[in-house]
Amino acid sequence: MEKLYLFIVFLSCALLLKDVTCTDSEALSKDEEKIVGGEEISINKVPYQAYLLLQKGNEYFQCGGSIISKRHILTAAHCIEGISKVTVRIGSSNSNKGGTVYTAKSKVAHPKYNSKTKNNDFAIVTVNKDMAIDGKTTKIITLAKEGSSVPDKTKLLVSGWGATSEGGSSSTTLRAVHVQAHSDDECKKYFRSLTSNMFCAGPPEGGKDSCQGDSGGPAVKGNVQLGVVSFGVGCARKNNPGIYAKVSAAAKWIKSTAGL
């Protein structure tokens, strides 16, 4: 099954553009996603990280994203499917407060995104005004070069506010985990439908992974974003590494769309 990394929140009070501090009930989508096997991390360590609250009718979902310019957030295409409104929070380790909140004025998925296979799982959200970039709690991430690879055993830092266990609730505190990428041949042992626009990462024995609510978030090596959290089977399961959209495969489209 797919791991769609969407976290649904049914709010019982009005949603404001500032803090969401409502009594709510939580439910997961078809499958799961959040940081599993990681630890809490300060936004100062991952200042490119963005939190996305997405509205679809009376339901609210969360995803992650990354700051790629003063006006643009990179996220996963499956995060914005059927979504009517996107609110972005940056500069805070807490998903409910702090930092600065922006409203999206537009969103666009990769033109070759396939909702069934999750191939080309990229989207760009454009906010309503320039984001405040201070270089400390907010920073623009460098994108992988077009056509570059993600070598076997590449160590990646994945961050987000997703669940800390499969079927668990989301975290309001930012968390991160280190995972290693695998070669395409190794990934295809676990996921035969892997395309050249994807890579997988996570220990074969399980225990470390992204989870529900982490979708769209960044997978970074140093100061370069190599992947976008896309999907998987459950969270941190044995022989089921997470699947990431490969940024280098869409670098040309990302830069053109965002005017970089």
Q: Each residue of 27-63: pLDDT tens digit?
A: 323 333 345 545 789 999 999 999 999 998 888 888 9
Point out the residues that are catalytic.
78, 121, 215
Lowest-pLDDT choice from 40-49, 69-78, 128-137, 236-245: 236-245
pLDDT at 233: 53
Ordered by start, the domain boundaries in the chain are: 40-258
Q: What percent of the chain stands above pLDDT 70?
A: 75
Q: Each residue of 205-223: pLDDT tens digit?
A: 544 445 556 789 999 999 9
Q: Summarize the confidence of residues 68-81 as an average pLDDT.
A: 96
Distance CA 236, CA 204 (A): 9
Q: Summarize the confidence of residues 159-182 as an average pLDDT.
A: 75
In terms of Cα–Cα distance, which of 90, 242, 237, 64 is closest to 167? 237
Which of 10-14, 161-165, 231-235, 251-255 tops mean pLDDT?
Answer: 251-255
Count the Cβ atoms, other than its own, within 10 Å of residue 190: 18
Domain at 40-258: CATH architecture: Beta Barrel (2.40)
Distance CA 2, CA 110 (A): 19
8 Å CB contact between 217 and 113: no
